[in-house]
Structure 1
Amino acid sequence: MRSMSTAPVAKKVPFVRSFHGDEFQDDYAWLADKEDPDTLPYLTAENEYTEQQTAHLESLRETLFDEIKRRTQETDLSVPSRKGDWWYYSRTEEGKQYGIHCRLAAENDQITPPDTKDGAALPGEVILLDENAVAGDQPFLALGTFDVSPDDRLLAYSTDFAGDERFTLRIKDLTTGEDLADEVPNTSYGTAWSADGTELFYLTVDDAWRPNQVWRHTVGTPADQDTVVFEEPDERFWVGVGLSRSEAYIVVQTSSKTTSEVHVLDARTPRDDLQLIAPRRDGVEYSVDHQADAPGRDERFLVLHNDDAENFELATAPIDAPADWTPLIPHDPAVRLSDVDAFAGHVVVHLRKDGLTGLRVLADGEQPRDLAFPEAVYTVEPAGNPDYATTQFRLHYTSLVTPDSVFDCDLETGELTLRKQQPVLGGYDPEQYEQFREWATAPDGTKVPLSIVARKDTPRDGSAPCVLYGYGAYEISMDPWFSVARLSLLDRGFVFVVAHVRGGGELGRHWYDDGKLGHKINTFTDFIAAAQAVVEAGWTSVPRLVARGGSAGGLLMGAIANMAPEAFGAIVAEVPFVDALTSILDPSLPLTVTEWEEWGDPLHDPEAYAYIRSYAPYDNVEERPYPAILALGGLNDTRVLYHEPAKWVAKLRAVGAPNVLLKTEMGAGHSGPSGRYDAWREAAFATAWIIDIVGKAG
């Protein structure tokens, strides 16, 4: 075999991909076959080579891991949320990888949650599920659902021990603490209970890993007696199931990237037929919540929709005429309405305005009130609010310098009460750091927002190293967030920048539309413009600029590596969607058909094929001065299959890219290692590589 001081060389097996008159030589297509006798040995050799090439960083990795660990309050509790007669919360214990889910009996009329700021376990708690015990000796664990029945008697939970997001569903009797005999394999995310806790609705997937069926399970009966209550035949649509916040309705939503349809079912009569809210119309998206009657107001559905409302409006609909929508918050082209939470006497709307998140409270009979927050760059979003009748609204607030903070908002007065802020040990002082909102100018003149954080003593003379992070797809916004691991970079003089490129949703629906389908290249040129802007502003210099992104953000990394390799000193691509065209051409793969509304349909549309072909990273690798690249993948990933980064790295090596590393997690999936200590070590690995690379840049 080869010496590990020499990069692995993947074998070449001639294969020609031919579509629409275009022929593409794909010498590494064989890597998509896990059964090929050379596939796993090749991935193993790459891991060994990466370990050898980074062996000199072992001490730094340990230092970084210790920094994360020392700054983290390892034994800690979340802020309890009241529902019915119980306070629900989760906690962690020092030395244990996973969380422990608990509840505590509530006193009558107790509104204020128990104090958890010291991190101590609460006396009298009942452990609902200890993930550490569930995981046992398994190297990976993820939960797909954690759902307590409305009568507080049963817990539905599902587990994945491989990272492939195929879950086994179980039901636990919370009175005895024992699992029932009920067990359903191969389920997807999400469940919904009937009102009396005798029936449980869950999801399964088709061969392409698309949630397409809703099943009804009667507690205490074998899974082979379960009944399909809804099936979605259109391969563009994914199905979800859940309860309305009032717990009065089971809600089945089926959605493509551009269209949706909702059915509901009275949770008191779970064997009735589903009721359609409004039939699907191409391009119309809507979601539904329920509000029971109250003094001066009839029972109603709340419908958030984009019918002739690009940035969505909130409407109401009578229970007996659910397709008759009357505006409650009319469409505002400057405000993107993203979600709605219904309470007995209030409605809380999650929105975006001026590139920032926000919350608007609508109390019955009162004028709407937008909650105000102090920082110029921040993120605010709803937290766990399981109690429908509450007058307190739980929210999370954070920024690039403010640790995650849990507030309760009095829905009558708007007063905010801080319940807990994420502890950062070791003397963290937010006053030592600054955050900024700056703008880059894209080639077409569009202003692209940048969120920037650095220590106040960081020079702006081009000497500081910088990490530039981006995503840019699915209308997912990279809103500012606090990171304990990031402090290890900032305290070493790094600048951290988030480029809010088109394809995300930061500036409303148009921001998304301008970065998808035939406008996708805007995502890449926005990011390159952001790189140029931070250099021109003196935040960093090209050799000390590291680009980073994952999944669809990994596609961004691969594209900018081809389009502007000279603009970056290094690139970190995590679970990168770099063989995009090959994957989108194969409708048997997970996600492909539903993705056609995001990227285009290259299988049937020659123009879409040519456009994706023009930017797909793997297709466009050729001899050029690539920067250093670290690619991270997961063997059991069902979203971006492991062979995409593997093929990309093999081809980069073949064209002479000088410093390319591949690390594949052999027992995990899209989200990487599941245990918190394992995740910290993964963070330390990438951080050490970044520090080393910019150090070599001088």
Structure 2
Amino acid sequence: MDETLKEVDGGIAWGDDDRFLYYAKMDDTHRPYQLWRHALGTPQAEDVKLLEEADELYWMGFGKTRSGRFLVTQLETKETAEVHLIDLRAAEGSAEAAPRMMAPRERGVLYEVDHLGGDRLAVISTCEGAVNFRLLAAPVPPVGGCSDRGAWEPMCNAGGEAIMPYDEGVYLTGLEAFESALFLEGRRGGYTRVWRIGLTDGVPISPPQEVRFESEACECNVGPNHEFSAETVRLQYSSMVAPQQDLDLDLKGDALTLVKQKEVPGYDPALYETVFDECVARDGARVPISIVRRKGAGGGDAKGPAPMLLYGYGSYGVCIDPSFDYKILPLLDRGMQFAIAHIRGGGEVGRQWYHQQGKFLTKKNTFNDFVDSARHLISAGYTTPEALAINGRSAGGVLMG
């Protein structure tokens, strides 16, 4: 079949079968702002517009839940969100097939939604002052949508006990629902984490269990998974000494099986080591520092200080995680250490690391944290002033003075 759709954002989502697909159109500034449904075999002029976002501050994104039942449309700025669901299994043209709003936008409130099965949804949201997102449950909104968040409640087990009360030290960044488990992506202690919650009929049967990888200081996430009823879930992991790994987690147990590891010719991970430290900044904030070096190169051990390259970014809430970077291997092989200071302005320790403590009138914390991290690395014996080099690029370039 030869069909062309014009003025399309680029991404598409299929309906419940192969009759319809959904796409977004862009405005004159290339902002996705309209959601359309196209019936295969018909001209684009007959397509149906389902949603339009007139506010130029809001960006439109959409995707189908893994369960296949809903199309989720996210209207979002950096600080505010609004979500609409379309039931893809409802009869075409019926009231049940029209977009349903989860909750109206409220300035400063972000939220994301996934389908647990049946009429149950999982939600993470910054509502009620949860700067780092709380875990909630909600029913599928009725025809016509919801006018408030009144039906949202803490996610509870069958006994009515909240399984994950809000903890400001845990920053939830995403959720991935399967028939028998809900996975949460997030951060704790400055580093990425993945939690698993067992489900039966969309109801939790276990508290969140953190998936344990080889190193806690790493970059990890839920990988590409397409089957809602999967018995294994693909996860991805990398550390400063481990090239990216694809791992399968058995949902009937907790065994992790290595499926594939990125090949780096000539690289031997046994020759390198990582150290994870933190400095206490001048205002008392604890700033994580990730270090990688060749074993025996020195740096805070019996061999004394060693040369070091310290990297920082600290802008826009961007997280610089301790993942594998083959480009620094020549430095390590020459006896140099490489360190990342996870300074404020980034998002490693939570949204407050940027929104409350690293921009506008608090932007000076970004610079102070970087200086204080360098001083800590010197005072702790990792390196010396003469042997310390610093690096920052793009927005991190302002750290260079």
Q: State the shift of 1:556 in Å.
A: 2.7
Match of 1:317 among 138, 141, 154: 138
Corresponding position: 1:254 with 2:75: yes
Corresponding position: 1:338 with 2:173: yes
* Contact 1:196–1:268 under 8 Å retained in 2: no
Q: 1:305 to 1:185 in 2, by over 3 A?
A: same
* Contact 1:377–1:435 under 8 Å retained in 2: no
Q: State the shift of 1:543 in Å.
A: 6.9
- The whole-number CA distance in structure 2 between the counterparts of 1:261 and 1:546 is 41
Q: Structure with the greater relative contact order (CA < 8 A, sep ≥ 6): 1 or 2?
A: 1
Match of 1:25 in 2: none
* Contact 2:237–2:246 under 8 Å retained in 1: yes
Match of 2:288 in 1: 449
**SS state at 1:488 partner:** helix
Match of 1:484 in 2: 326
* Larger helix fraction of residues: 1
Match of 1:545 in 2: 389
- The whole-number CA distance in structure 2 between the counterparts of 1:519 and 1:183 is 50
Match of 1:534 in 2: 377
Match of 2:99 in 1: 274
Q: State the TM-score, normalizing by the size of structure 2.
A: 0.85
Match of 1:375 in 2: 215
Which amino acid is 1:490 matched to? L
**SS state at 2:334 partner:** coil
Corresponding position: 1:237 with 2:62: no
* Contact 2:315–2:395 under 8 Å retained in 1: no
Match of 2:353 among 485, 501, 511: 511
Which amino acid is 1:527 matched to? F
Q: 1:495 to 1:225 in 2, by over 3 A?
A: farther
- The whole-number CA distance in structure 2 between the counterparts of 1:371 and 1:543 is 38
Q: State the shift of 1:305 in Å.
A: 0.9
Corresponding position: 1:209 with 2:30: yes
**SS state at 2:396 partner:** helix
* Contact 1:216–1:226 under 8 Å retained in 2: yes
Corresponding position: 1:199 with 2:20: yes
- Per-residue CA deviations over 1:442-472 (Å, capped at 9, x if unaligned) read 3433221111111113233555252x33332
* Contact 1:379–1:481 under 8 Å retained in 2: yes
- The whole-number CA distance in structure 2 between the counterparts of 1:502 and 1:396 is 26
Q: State the shift of 1:253 in Å.
A: 0.4
Q: 1:448 to 1:192 in 2, by over 3 A?
A: same
Q: 1:432 to 1:360 in 2, by over 3 A?
A: same
Match of 1:493 among 327, 335, 353: 335
Q: State the shift of 1:355 in Å.
A: 1.7
* Larger strand fraction of residues: 2
Q: State the shift of 1:284 in Å.
A: 1.0
- Per-residue CA deviations over 1:160-195 (Å, capped at 9, x if unaligned) read xxxxxxxxxxxxxxxxxxxx4323345335322111
**SS state at 1:316 partner:** strand
**SS state at 1:482 partner:** coil
- Per-residue CA deviations over 1:304-361 (Å, capped at 9, x if unaligned) read 1111222212111122456411211321222122211111122111122222222222
**SS state at 2:327 partner:** coil
Q: How many residues align?
A: 371
Aligned residue runs from structure 1 range 221-620, under 5 A: 221-269=42-90, 272-293=97-118, 299-308=119-128, 309-320=130-141, 323=149, 324-328=151-155, 329-364=164-199, 366-368=205-207, 369-426=209-266, 428-460=267-299, 464-466=307-309, 468-513=310-355, 514-536=357-379, 537-539=381-383, 541=385, 545-549=389-393, 554-557=394-397, 559-562=398-401
- The whole-number CA distance in structure 2 between the counterparts of 1:376 and 1:363 is 22
* Contact 1:193–1:267 under 8 Å retained in 2: no
- Per-residue CA deviations over 1:645-680 (Å, capped at 9, x if unaligned) read xxxxxxxxxxxxxxxxxxxxxxxxxxxxxxxxxxxx
- The whole-number CA distance in structure 2 between the counterparts of 1:506 and 1:242 is 27
Most deviating of 314-323 and 338-347: 314-323
Q: 1:441 to 1:210 in 2, by over 3 A?
A: farther
Which amino acid is 1:367 matched to? S
Which amino acid is 1:230 matched to? L
**SS state at 2:313 partner:** coil
Which amino acid is 2:14 matched to? W
Consecutive unaligned residues of structure 2, counting only runs of 5 or more, are: 156-163
* Contact 1:464–1:541 under 8 Å retained in 2: no
* Contact 1:407–1:420 under 8 Å retained in 2: yes
**SS state at 1:181 partner:** coil
* Contact 2:175–2:185 under 8 Å retained in 1: yes
Match of 1:136 in 2: none
Q: State the shift of 1:434 in Å.
A: 1.2
Q: State the shift of 1:287 in Å.
A: 0.7
- The whole-number CA distance in structure 2 between the counterparts of 1:266 and 1:218 is 16
- The whole-number CA distance in structure 2 between the counterparts of 1:522 and 1:190 is 39
Which amino acid is 1:495 matched to? Q
Q: State the TM-score, normalizing by the size of structure 1.
A: 0.50
Q: State the shift of 1:419 in Å.
A: 1.4
Which amino acid is 1:351 matched to? G
Q: 1:556 to 1:189 in 2, by over 3 A?
A: farther
**SS state at 1:533 partner:** helix
Q: State the shift of 1:389 in Å.
A: 0.4
* Contact 1:238–1:255 under 8 Å retained in 2: yes
**SS state at 1:412 partner:** coil
Which amino acid is 1:413 matched to? G
